[in-house]
Amino acid sequence: MNTAACIVVRRPDLERLLETVRSIAPQVDTVVVVVDAGSDMLAAARALRGIALVVAVPRGTGAGAAANHGVRLLVEHGAEVVVRLDPDHVAPADMVAELVRRFEDPRVAVAAGVLGPVGAAGPVTAGRHGGPRGVDACATSGSALRTDVWREIGGWDEELATDHLEFDLCLRVRQSGYVVLQDPGVVVGRPARRAAASAPIHDLVALADRAHDSVWFARKHRGVPLSVRVAGRSRPGTAAAIAVQVVRAALGSHDNARGRTHAPARTHAHDHVPVHGRAATVAALLRGALAGAAVRRSPERSAASAPLTVFRHDRSRSAA
* Domain-embedded: residue 230: yes
Grade residue 191 by pLDDT with cuts at 50, 70 and 90: confident
Better pLDDT: 58 or 253: 58
Across residues 281-290, what is the average pLDDT? 90
CB 38 within 8 A of CB 59: yes
Q: What distance in Å separates the CA atoms of residue 57 and residue 120, rounded to the nearest whole number?
A: 33
222 and 164 in one domain?
A: no
DSSP classification of residue 44: H
pLDDT on residue 230: 67
304 and 290 in one domain?
A: no
Among residues 142, 139, 8, the alpha carbon closest in space to that of 73 is found at 8
* Domain-embedded: residue 211: yes
Better pLDDT: 191 or 158: 158
65 and 148 in one domain?
A: yes
185 and 88 in one domain?
A: yes
Tens of pLDDT, residues 1-33: 999 999 999 887 889 999 999 999 999 999 999
Least confident of 37-51, 58-72, 107-121, 222-236: 222-236
64 and 42 in one domain?
A: yes
Domain range for 18 = 3-193+300-311
β-pairing verdict for 108-117 and 143-146? antiparallel
Distance of CA 20 to the CA centre of its chain: 15
* Domain-embedded: residue 246: yes
* Domain-embedded: residue 319: no
Better pLDDT: 247 or 97: 97
Average pLDDT over the chain reads 80
Residue 196 has pLDDT above 50, yes or no: no
Residue 235 has pLDDT above 60, yes or no: yes
pLDDT on residue 266: 33
Q: What is the CATH number of the domain that holds 82?
A: 3.90.550.10
pLDDT on residue 24: 96
Grade residue 299 by pLDDT with cuts at 50, 70 and 90: low
Across residues 254-279, what is the average pLDDT? 46
Q: What distance in Å separates the CA atoms of residue 259 and residue 243, rounded to the nearest whole number?
A: 14
173 and 128 in one domain?
A: yes
* Domain-embedded: residue 320: no
* Domain-embedded: residue 318: no
Q: What distance in Å separates the CA atoms of residue 89 and residue 165, rounded to the nearest whole number?
A: 18
282 and 188 in one domain?
A: no
Least confident of 7-21, 106-120, 224-238: 224-238
For 300, list phi and psi in degrees, rounded to 5.
Answer: -70, 115
Percentage of the chain exceeding pLDDT 70: 75
pLDDT on residue 233: 65
Residue 123 has pLDDT above 90, yes or no: no
Say how many domains are in the chain.
Answer: 2
pLDDT on residue 120: 55
* Domain-embedded: residue 127: yes
Q: What distance in Å separates the CA atoms of residue 160 and residue 169, rounded to the nearest whole number?
A: 11
Grade residue 242 by pLDDT with cuts at 50, 70 and 90: confident
* Domain-embedded: residue 316: no
pTM reported for the whole predicted model: 0.78
Grade residue 310 by pLDDT with cuts at 50, 70 and 90: very low
Least confident of 62-76, 119-133, 302-316: 302-316
286 and 146 in one domain?
A: no
pLDDT on residue 305: 40
Q: Residues near 241 by Cβ (< 8 Å), separated by ≥ 6?
A: 214, 233
225 and 161 in one domain?
A: no
Strand partners, 181: 111, 134
Grade residue 312 by pLDDT with cuts at 50, 70 and 90: very low
Q: What distance in Å separates the CA atoms of residue 252 and residue 263, rounded to the nearest whole number?
A: 10
46 and 166 in one domain?
A: yes
- For the ranges 88-97, 202-211, 248-257, 263-272, the one whose mean pLDDT is highest: 88-97
87 and 127 in one domain?
A: yes
284 and 161 in one domain?
A: no
